[in-house]
Amino acid sequence: MCGIFGVHGHPDAVRLTQLGLYSLQHRGQESAGVVSINEKGDARAVRSMGTMSDAMTEELDRVPGVTAIGHTRYSTTGSSSIENAQPVLARTKGGFVALAHNGNLTNAAELRMELEDRGSIFSSTMDSEVIVHRLARSNADSPDDRLAEALCEVEGAFSLIVTIGDTLLAARDPRGWRPLVFGRLGNAPVFASETCALDIVGATYEREVQPGEIIAVDAGGVRSSFPLPRRELKRCVFEYVYFARPDSRVFGGSVDRARRALGKRLAREHPAPDAELVFSVPDSSNSAALGFAEESGLPYELALIRNHYIGRTFIQPTQAGRDAKVKVKYNPVREVLEGKKVVMVDDSIVRGTTTRGLVALVRGAGAREVHMRVSSPPVTGPCYYGIDTPSREELIAARLSPEEIARDLGVDSLGYLSLEGMLESVPGGPHGFCHACFSGDYPTAPPTDPDKLRFGCGC
């Protein structure tokens, strides 16, 4: 998963992009980068491992531009290393090309092999680089046509912000897996993964980039086209469950409203009649826990405090990193928990590492009973479309039944939201969503080699 941002024709394009990326930091913390294009058409990249930092500000001040694109990365293909940091920047026969990608391509291996057979030399281990090579090889006249040609055989999930020369382009795969919104700051068009990034720069939200749409922006204005083959809509429901920020609108709906509705439905499907209070695993399940509390008439308490200076547990690429971080990331409030029968709401259980650690903390702080409620169904399969859950063996619900999971995690009861409950609760549901990780209903053939490091570790 990643966050992407782009702005065209604004004297503060670089600073606005940096601000936008601060708002999209939750979508990826492995690397951050900005490509800036100045009035002469020269493009320069500033990239760094980790989050968008103040240290980058000085470097960014040295690359002013009128158009800029940015990226926060959370790897799904390719290792977590600087050569895989985006935006990708390349010099091609038609000028500079820069690309920021959110998603995961399912036929990247085949496309890469084909390109390598024809002499392409790859400099990263990311799936996204195949699009850059295809752009470089295209002989189409306009940037719009070059992008359309580059994307016509690409399968899987892509929300893209691209520059070709001084044209800024935004594109979304025909199934619309990942969000991408279009706004304006004065006359300057702005694109971002989520509306929270429009808010921070003061841009107004116009609309979503539509599935299958390419929007091109240059001195002549804004053009829209739909050159990609039509497909059934498959927006990622996990964006509403977990990934997007609650103050955002994605897929045309409010993430906060979605999560509250998920929590309410969960309370109806799995009530906890003897419980005395509800609390969330902050921050991603706050809104769902509020919905649960409201529906069940139980008080909502702050029983777990999250240390904000530590990144998302799951975003740590290795298990060792994840285990250690659960303990330092959350601390229980004994005064809230002691002697109480409690409902702990989380948005998902993936590996079970977080929940197991949290249950131990909550019991250690004196809770008498712990009733776990999850505002999504059991995650039983990997995602090939941009969420980093690559191997089935790592997923606790792929190995154990809910009863066994409850025992394994040490909770008194466990209730997962049903698939129907989830799909009926999200805005625009129940149709038009990808729920493959919950249902096993995959919209495409899986990648021939789903290993994240299939193109080498890049180290």
Residue nearest to ligand AMP (CB): 314
Peptide bond into 145 cis (omega under 30): no
If the CB atoms of residues 95 and 402 are measured against ligand AMP, the closer one turns out to be 402
Coil, strand or helix at 149:
helix
Q: Of 74 and 96, which CB lies nearer to ligand AMP in the complex structure?
A: 74
Residue 329 in contact with ligand AMP, rule: CB under 6 A? no
Question: Which residue in the block uniquely carries the two structure tokens 């038009």?
Answer: 432
In sequence order, which ranges of 299-395 are alpha helices (DSSP H)? 319-329, 334-337, 353-364
> Which of 84, 353, 375, 425 is in the footprint of ligand AMP by CB under 6 A?
353
Question: Which of 348, 372, 421, 455 contacts ligand AMP by CB under 6 A?
Answer: 348
In the stretch 403-432, what mask flags binding to ligand AMP with x, by CB under 6 A?
------------------------------
Q: Does 388 bind ligand AMP (CB under 6 A)?
A: yes
Please state the closest distance from residue 104 (CB atom) to ligand AMP, in A. 12
Angle at 394 (CA atoms; ends 391, 400), nearest 5 degrees: 120
Catalytic residue, chosen from 2, 236, 383, 434, is 2
Separation CA 236–CA 27 (nearest Å):
14
CB 198 within 8 A of CB 24: no
Is the distance from CB of 371 to CB of 411 less than 8 angstroms?
A: yes
Which listed residue (351, 371, 435, 452) binds ligand AMP by CB under 6 A? Answer: 351
Segment near ligand AMP (CB under 6 A); pick from 42-50, 194-202, 292-300, 344-352: 344-352
Under the criterion CB under 6 A, does residue 355 sit at the interface with ligand AMP?
yes
* Nearest alpha-carbon partner for 153 in 118, 185, 105: 105
| The pair of three-digit structure tokens given for residue 336, joined into one six-digit string | 């809230």
By the rule CB under 6 A, 73 interacts with ligand AMP? no
Task: State whether the Cα torsion 94-100-106-109 is positive or negative.
Answer: positive
Q: Which is nearer to ligand AMP, 18 or 31 (CB)?
A: 31
If the CB atoms of residues 31 and 389 are measured against ligand AMP, the closer one turns out to be 389
Nearer to ligand AMP, 132 or 362 (CB): 362
Count of positions on this chain that bind ligand AMP (CB under 6 A): 20
Cβ at position 312, least distance to ligand AMP in Å: 5
- Told to check if 433 binds ligand AMP by CB under 6 A, we report no
CB-wise, 146 or 351, nearer to ligand AMP? 351
Give the C-alpha separation, 205 to 379, whole Å: 33
With CB under 6 A as the contact rule, the residue among 89, 344, 349, 436 that binds ligand AMP is: 349
Residue with tokens 């994307």: 151
Nearer Cβ to ligand AMP, position 306 or 454?
306
**Shortest reach from residue 358's CB to ligand AMP, in Å:** 8
CA distances from 398 to 1, 90, 395 (A): 22, 41, 5
Site residues (CB under 6 A) for ligand AMP, limited to 211-270 = 242
Catalytic, 457? Answer no
Minimum distance from CB of 212 to ligand AMP (Å)?
A: 25
Half-sphere exposure of 121 (CA within 13 A, CB side): 1
3-state secondary structure 262-324: HHHHHHHHCCCCCCCEEEECCCCCHHHHHHHHHHHCCCEECCEEECCCCCCHHHCCCHHHHHH
- 193 vs 313, which CB is nearer to ligand AMP? 313
Binding to ligand AMP by CB under 6 A, coded x per residue (else -) over 295-314, reads -----------------xxx
Helix/strand/coil percentages in the chain, nearest 5: 30, 25, 40
Nearest 5°: CA angle at 350, between 347 and 356?
A: 85
Q: Which among 95-103, 140-148, 166-174, 383-391 is the span making contact with ligand AMP, rule CB under 6 A?
A: 383-391
Tell me the sheet residues that pair with 372: 344, 414
The Cα angle at residue 406 between residues 400 and 407, in degrees rounded to 5:
85
* Residue 218 C-beta: closest distance to ligand AMP, Å: 36
Q: Which stretch binds ligand AMP (CB under 6 A): 32-40, 47-55, 386-394, 433-441?
A: 386-394
Catalytically annotated residues: 2
Q: Which residues bind ligand AMP (CB under 6 A)?
A: 242, 281, 284, 312-315, 346-355, 387-389
